[in-house]
Amino acid sequence: MKSWLFLFIAIISEVIATASLKESDGFTKLLPSVLVVVGYCLAFYFLSLTLRSIPVGIAYAIWSGVGITLITLIGWIIFGQKLDTPALIGITLIVLGVIVLNLFSKSVTH
């Protein structure tokens, strides 16, 4: 169970770092730039802890799928990014893929 908490922390850290990357304006703004560096360091550290018990392919698929979905939502809500029908279908397929991995795949555990 602790590995899933580590994966959640890795995902949230990566999402904060990626959102801050946009706000850093090419690393010209100090606070967002610091959030980028700290966020990515935390993300990779906690992802490495996750890999002690969750296979790398599964952990990375969940990490990237959930991260992509959350960043897309942040882009839409905070940054005003427009999402068309193909984008929404794609995000839905990513979410469904993560659900299928977690609910139906025997690959999630060693």
Domain segments of the chain: what residues?
2-108
**Would the pTM of this model clear 0.75, i.e. be above it?**
yes
- In tens, the pLDDT along 2-30 reads 999 999 999 999 999 999 999 999 999 99
What SS3 string covers the chain?
CHHHHHHHHHHHHHHHHHHHHHHCCCCCCHHHHHHHHHHHHHHHHHHHHHCCCCCHHHHHHHHHHHHHHHHHHHHHHCCCCCCCHHHHHHHHHHHHHHHHHHHHCHHHCC
pLDDT digits (tens, 9 = 90+) for 67-109: 999 999 999 999 999 999 999 999 999 989 888 887 887 776 6
